[in-house]
Structure 1
Amino acid sequence: MPQPTRPAQRITYAGGLSRGQVVAWRNAIFVVFGLCGLAIASWVSRVPAVRDSLHASTLQMAVLIFGIAAGSIIGLLGSSHIIARFGARLTIASCLTIASIGFAVAGLGATVGPNYVLTFIGLAVFGACFGITDVSMNVIGAANERVLGRAIMPIFHAFFSFGTMVGAGLGALAELVHLPIAVHTGIVALIIATAAITAVRFMQSEHIVEDDAEPVPDDDHSKSWRGRLSIWGDPRTLIIGLIVLGMAFTEGSANDWLALAMVDGHGVNNTTGAIVFGVFVSAMTIGRLAGVKLLDRFGRVPVLRWSSALTGLGLVIFIFVPNEWVAIAGVVLWGLGSALGFPVGMSAAADDPKTAAARVSAVATIGYFAFLVGPPLIGFLGEHFGLLHALLVVLVLVAVAGFASGAARESHGARSAG
């Protein structure tokens, strides 16, 4: 006689969430990371066309890209305070909507007139909102990671790379059919705003983990402006920031200059430059998807050191080998090596959920100084020595990140989550 079956036990998570709610939350974060990647790549893939439309020099393009970086730094500096006041979900929805408006304005400025100042303003607004969103999605991603009980931060960042792959592909297609920049950015802006508002409906509060944990002490960094700012005095936070600075410079130099360096340094056309950028982001995506198993097996420090070495090798090939096909092979290594630096830095900064927002904000701010200093520095050097040789400065920061990797070592029990 068959035995009666027991009803399946319903698994609940922190805050009494069901598995369906946690998975929907995770998937919504995937969408937000993807949207940010789509936005960045949509801009980067059209940089050569923007340069042609504005009749801008390499140095003028560096100043234009500086608009994104400067806006990002402003956003990052205020991000922890904004998140503490409004919460990550509302911050993400609001900032991505405003960012999409800035993005559309930048495209309009690059097309109608064209107007260099309007393009700069649009990119600055886009950068500020993007910086705030960056911290918000990493904070809420770290909370979801803790609720799930496994390390998935690199997968979140892989979806950023998926977004850049889509953005690079659409950018190459837009170049191929000669789609006006304003039309391209307007379509992308509408997609970003609509999808962001929809996705946040499925997210949970980043405070769920804290609410289920021990009471927060009176000196917690999340409770006051002074407390959140005091995180800047923590040596480990600063050294993790140095790691992210080097790896963000590595990734950001590709975002800002790879397509143009292929065009000017290796003699390819604008469409091919956009395609090669797509190769870079595809390599980064593969590296991030494979990175979860590598991190589980070897830990953060060895993986970061090997990542630095691989990035350095790829850059040397790209800079010094005149054959465009070999240079593309260097781009693949460059992308694979750059894949894990930023997400591992974010995970390390978010090891303690009670101080995650303040630490992630501080580390991301340090990292984003790469985007602030990098574009004008590489542009200035590129103006005098060529873009390929200007990228040599990236090698120095990659080496620094490799030597500083020990600060990202897992805290007690962190690796067991994976």
Structure 2
Amino acid sequence: MPLINKPRSHSVVPGTTDHLTRLRIALTTFFALDGFVFAGWVVRIPAIKQQTGASASALGLALLGVSAGGVVTMTLTGRLCRRYGSHRVTVVCAVLLSLSVALPPLTHSALALGLVLLAFGAAYGGINVAFNSAAVDLVAALRRPIMPSFHAAFSLGAMLGAGLGGLVAGFLTPTAHLFGLSVIGLLVTALAGPALLRLHAPKPTEPSKPSNGAPRRAATTSRRIVITFGVIALCTAYGEGAMADWGALHLEQDLRTSPGVAAAGYSLFALAMTAGRLSGTVQLMRLGQTRVIVCGGAVSAAGMLLGALAPTTWAALLGFGIAGFGIANLFPVAIERAGAHAGPDGVAIASTLGYSGMLLGPPTIGFMADWFSLPTALVSVTVLSATAAAIGFTTRRATGHAPLRHAA
């Protein structure tokens, strides 16, 4: 795409390099904020479990509220983005996410916790569909595979949120900590929201329509491809959700670590994901999508097996880091390719399937932990990571490769 000289006036012309750069920065801010707020909630799960007196299975059902609220909202968010624009929906959902994160520490039963997590999950699911839809359009405008960089911002925000949570866990109550996250989220939204609203989204590229072929068959094929990437996203989200909801508890409960070290476990996982996603564009341009998915799934499976079954804290932390690096680019590649094949509808379908992994993860691991043990339950992440790698390999010809391999 040819570069257009920046106008001398202070206005930013849609489609210019300056406009797309500002839009990328604004979207990156919201990806980072989402990760920061979510990780801040995650590291306080052990304290809130103790506060509510919930068993592992009861906590798993309560945590189901996050995923249930998210999956239900995602089906509606796609329509809202079509009507009002993904930028507006992103800002509104950021406000709701920031407000709802302060609610969990105000509960004192698993039932009440599950109900407030429905609201938190609804905001979380909504903002994920909204800013991923905006990011897919921006990727098409830039003609570069930069989707992993947005998810790197999410991981970086998660790392910072988890690290901050580990630092304050010893002297701040969950109520004070999560209220502080709420204030930070509202401030960031107040600063970045107006900029995002002023920047018009690039016109999305419509999926090509067959001229004299069979449009129904083409639509069916496209839908199958979208569902395939959605299943890969599901396997990935299951693993991310497992680490978010149960990683810290595994370190604290099974390996007898301190709350600070337990929080550092998820922070290390997020750091490894950040590193993997920061290098994601280079990986995609050099290796292609199939190799990134297959190799990433295999590495994640090996790392999670070590993290779940290692007898020492340091070995478990190493495993979590390996798993984070391996799983890093599976979800962003799946979402971007679904959007490239079917536009906003593809993003909505793949996102809904993807976050269904988080819907299945918390109760599945909770019940398995009660029946067997938490380490055994976490091995299910290894199985699904390997499944994602196998799907990526067996469907390599059907899904094709990204056409975005050159700079703008």
- TM (normalized to structure 1)? 0.87
Partner of 2:159: 165
The Cα of 1:50 is off from its aligned counterpart by: 0.9
Map of 1:60-139 to 2, 5 A cutoff? Answer: 60-109=58-107, 114-139=108-133
- For structure 1, which segment, 92-101 or 301-310, has the greater mean C-alpha deviation from structure 2 after superposition? 92-101
Equivalent position amino acid for 1:301 in 2: T
Partner of 2:5: 10
Report if the CA contact (8 A) 2:276-2:325 is conserved.
Answer: yes
User: Aligned partners of 1:291 and 1:214: how far apart in 2?
Assistant: 25
**How big is each residue's C-alpha offset from its partner over 1:203-246, in whole Å with a ceiling of 9 and x where there is no partner?**
3333x323xx67998xxxxxxxxx9xx88981101111111111
Report if the CA contact (8 A) 1:311-1:337 is conserved.
Answer: yes
Equivalent position amino acid for 1:409 in 2: G
Report if the CA contact (8 A) 2:149-2:278 is conserved.
Answer: yes
Map of 1:335-346 to 2, 5 A cutoff? Answer: 335-346=324-335
Rate the CA distance shift 1:136–1:9 in 2: closer, same or farther, 3 A. Answer: closer
Aligned pair partner of 1:379 in 360, 363, 366: 366
Map of 1:13-412 to 2, 5 A cutoff? Answer: 16-109=14-107, 114-177=108-171, 179-203=172-196, 204-206=199-201, 208-210=202-204, 234-352=223-341, 355-405=342-392, 406=396, 408-411=399-402
Rate the CA distance shift 1:15–1:142 in 2: closer, same or farther, 3 A. Answer: farther
For the pair 1:415 / 2:405, whether they are aligned, the reply is: yes
Equivalent position amino acid for 2:93 in 1: C
User: Aligned partners of 1:69 and 1:214: how far apart in 2?
Assistant: 30
Partner of 1:220: none
User: Aligned partners of 1:231 and 1:29: how far apart in 2?
Assistant: 32
Unaligned runs of 5+ in 1: 1-7, 218-226
Paired residue total: 390
**How big is each residue's C-alpha offset from its partner over 1:39-85, in whole Å with a ceiling of 9 and x where there is no partner?**
11001111111111112111111012111011011111212111112
Report if the CA contact (8 A) 1:232-1:362 is conserved.
Answer: no
Q: Secondary structure at the match of 2:145?
A: coil
Q: Secondary structure at the match of 1:234?
A: helix
Q: Secondary structure at the match of 1:306?
A: helix
Report if the CA contact (8 A) 1:300-1:408 is conserved.
Answer: no
Q: Secondary structure at the match of 1:404?
A: helix
Unaligned runs of 5+ in 2: 210-215
Rate the CA distance shift 1:61–1:395 in 2: closer, same or farther, 3 A. Answer: same
* Identical pairs, percent: 29
Equivalent position amino acid for 2:23 in 1: W
**How big is each residue's C-alpha offset from its partner over 1:306-330, in whole Å with a ceiling of 9 and x where there is no partner?**
1111111111212222122111111
User: Aligned partners of 1:54 and 1:383: how far apart in 2?
Assistant: 18
Write out the 4+ residue segments of structure 1 that deviate beyond 6 Å after TM superposition. 214-217, 230-233
Rate the CA distance shift 1:52–1:214 in 2: closer, same or farther, 3 A. Answer: closer
User: Aligned partners of 1:105 and 1:53: how far apart in 2?
Assistant: 14
Equivalent position amino acid for 2:346 in 1: R
Report if the CA contact (8 A) 1:83-1:91 is conserved.
Answer: yes
Equivalent position amino acid for 1:300 in 2: Q
Equivalent position amino acid for 2:46 in 1: P
User: Aligned partners of 1:281 and 1:132: how far apart in 2?
Assistant: 22
Equivalent position amino acid for 2:147 in 1: M
**How big is each residue's C-alpha offset from its partner over 1:161-218, in whole Å with a ceiling of 9 and x where there is no partner?**
11101110111122122x1111111111122123124323223333x323xx67998x
User: Aligned partners of 1:167 and 1:105: how far apart in 2?
Assistant: 17
Rate the CA distance shift 1:18–1:358 in 2: closer, same or farther, 3 A. Answer: same
Equivalent position amino acid for 1:129 in 2: A
Equivalent position amino acid for 1:164 in 2: A
- TM (normalized to structure 2)? 0.89
The Cα of 1:15 is off from its aligned counterpart by: 6.7
User: Aligned partners of 2:301 and 2:84: how far apart in 1?
Assistant: 41
User: Aligned partners of 1:153 and 1:201: how far apart in 2?
Assistant: 23
